[in-house]
Amino acid sequence: MVNISDFPRIVPEADDTLRIQRAADNAIGKTLLIPYNVSDYVISQSIRIDPTTKVAGTSRSVKIRNTNDNVYAFVIQPAIGSNNVNQAEGFEHLYIRSKFGIKYNREGDYSSVWSQQPSLFNVFIRNCYFEGQYSSAVDPNYNTDVVPGLNELKEYGIAVWGAKIFNLSIRDNFISNFGIPLYLEGCDHTEINNNRITLNAISVYLTTKRGGGQNYGSQCSINHNEIVGNSRRGQILIPDGDAHTISDNFFEADKSACEFLRIFGDFSNLITGNRFNVTKMGDVAPTTPIITIDVGYGSVVSHNRCNLKYAEFLIDIKTSRYKTYRGNLHLEPKYFILWKDNSSTFPVPNHPLVRTKEIDPLVFNSKNPRFLNNQIALGEFPWEPSTVSSNWAIKTNIEVPFRSNLAVDIIMDQLSPSNNHYIVLVRGRKVSKEGLCEIRADNDKGKLLYSQRFAFADTDKLSSHSIDLQATQGITKLFFRFIVNDGTAETNQIEEIILRPTSN
């Protein structure tokens, strides 16, 4: 163990930079101990740390203050071309006050820089307090729905920057006032666990590094963190990652910055057991989704709890993956997102659950969120309000797969008991096999009040069916069930379903 108390300042040193560096140079393969001091340890240049050195304070009250906003407080950069470090160490029990905190390895071109630097294994950062400089005073888009650029976020500061680290553990930390608290490039099997990440622009940026047939930066776990009070869209931003697990986290933000997950190039990610909470700022619903997924393949969004009192819609699934065949783009049918068993409170009127664009196939199930306070509960489709009337409607061109013995239910729940008169219009096309649309109406006790089936013929022509339910009293729930008769997998395009309330 090397104690920096044994390395006092030497005249004319104006701060603690050089004394800490001298101690660090003597602590290779050892613990560099930084004892508690009443005043801050002040540095003005980066402290270079060997990856085999453990840097530890005697408590989280040990403060390192970096007065240079252009450099990281600590830098761990083993020489290009040196061996991988299998016994890397890390940081614990420190309070780091710096616009830029800790940096592991280098960024740069894959062939000449990134692939030539050594891999670091089993690095840890735990029980630390990181304080940056980000605030509303420096960000003109603070708490707005403007999508931030990466360079913009970097300029606001980074707490931990890491590249080519395997089995990195970041846990039990408090991180506040950064543009990007955790920026990880090509880090496999990272564990981000039990941290409080607050008052930043975003929270976590995970990106891959590819080259030479290699793909770094997958299978990371973001678990049991408190991610609150951050002010820009995309709290967890994954531009091109895969096989990550985001679970058991608590997210909370103002309505303008309530896009908690922004995932692109999505491949087999699991988003489960999280709690999403949107806070109020004014009376206007926000224009951002809770989750944005662009190019989804095999991902699962399940068992999340959502308090969406001021959210406009829950999930924005932008596009499926395209492939080129004979010069034409087509949708690869194996790409899908499974959305299941999530629950929400969503009393804002006239806002859809899901907004989609060209998803094929888009798989939901009937245990999805219930809309409360006389709104709609549904399983599989994005309901959108009419701009010219009070009708609720599905207006979409997504293609929905149906199989024999797999009925797909759309449920309209908690209908107003004061209005018992409805007209239902169902429009479908491109039905390649004969099938059925069954419409049921129940009262609040579950008693069947109405049931009718309409056959979809083997035709591409538009078919419309209207039902006047005014003779049936006490309806509070409608079920729409689509069934294909034979045992093959078929795709029906349900173009529109409208529930039209009428007056007595």
* Confidence (pLDDT) at 304: 79
* Confidence (pLDDT) at 306: 73
Q: Roughly how many angstroms between the first and final C-alpha of the chain, as a whole number?
A: 84
In which residue are the tokens 């160490």 written? 89
Q: Is 447 exposed, middle or buried (0-12, 13-18, 19+ CB in 10 A)?
A: exposed
Q: Across the strands, what pairs with 277?
A: 252, 307
The pair of structure tokens assigned to 151 is 């360079």
CATH code matching the domain that covers 388-504, chosen among 2.40.110.10, 2.60.120.260, 1.10.287.1040, 3.30.420.10: 2.60.120.260
Which residues, 6 or more positions from 388, have their beta carbon under 8 angstroms from its beta carbon? Answer: none
For the beta carbon of residue 132, count every other beta carbon within 10 angstroms.
26
CA 149 to chain CA centroid, nearest Å? 16
Closest of 241, 240, 262, 245 to residue 253, by C-alpha: 262
Output the tens digit of pLDDT for each of the chain's 504 residues: 999 999 999 999 999 999 999 999 999 999 999 999 999 999 999 999 999 999 999 999 999 999 999 999 999 999 999 999 999 999 999 999 999 999 999 998 888 899 999 999 999 999 999 999 999 999 999 988 888 999 999 999 999 999 999 999 999 999 999 999 999 999 999 999 999 999 999 999 999 988 777 888 999 999 999 999 999 988 999 988 788 999 999 999 877 777 888 887 667 888 899 998 877 544 444 557 778 776 556 677 777 777 655 444 455 555 444 444 444 443 343 344 555 556 554 433 333 344 443 333 333 333 333 322 222 233 333 333 333 334 444 333 333 333 333 334 444 544 444 444 555 555 554 444 455 566 666 666 667 766 766 665 544 444 555 666 655 566 655 555 555 444 444 444 444 455 555 544
* Confidence (pLDDT) at 463: 53
CA distance 249 to 239: 20
Q: What are phi and psi of 5, to 5 degrees?
A: -65, -25
CA distance 25 to 161: 22
CA distance 461 to 262: 38
CA 268 to chain CA centroid, nearest Å? 13
Q: Is 283 exposed, middle or buried (0-12, 13-18, 19+ CB in 10 A)?
A: exposed
State how far the alpha carbon of 224 is from the alpha carbons of 30, 193, 244, 267, in Å: 31, 6, 14, 22
* Confidence (pLDDT) at 376: 28
Q: Fill in the amino acid letter for 312.
A: E
The pair of structure tokens assigned to 193 is 């666990």
Helix/strand/coil percent split, the chain, to 5:
5, 45, 50
Q: Give the three-class secondary structure for 309.
A: coil
Q: Fill in the amino acid letter for 122.
A: N
Q: Let me know how long the chain is.
A: 504
Q: Is 229 exposed, middle or buried (0-12, 13-18, 19+ CB in 10 A)?
A: middle
The pair of structure tokens assigned to 340 is 């299941």
Closest of 99, 232, 101, 237 to residue 162, by C-alpha: 101
pTM listed for this prediction: 0.73
Q: Give the three-class secondary structure for 278.
A: strand
CA distance 198 to 177: 7
CA distance 103 to 75: 5
Q: Residue 237: enclosing H or E segment and its boundaries?
A: strand 236-238
The pair of structure tokens assigned to 139 is 């960000």
Which residues, 6 or more positions from 11, have their beta carbon under 8 angstroms from its beta carbon? Answer: none
CA distance 93 to 492: 59
The pair of structure tokens assigned to 381 is 């489709």
State how far the alpha carbon of 185 is from the alpha carbons of 84, 117, 121, 276, in Å: 17, 13, 14, 26
> Read out DSSP for 113-135?
TGGGSPPEES-EEES-EEE----
CA distance 369 to 344: 5
CA distance 198 to 169: 19
DSSP tag of 285:
P
CA 181 to chain CA centroid, nearest Å? 15
CA distance 489 to 159: 50
* Confidence (pLDDT) at 396: 35
Q: Across the strands, what pairs with 501?
A: 422
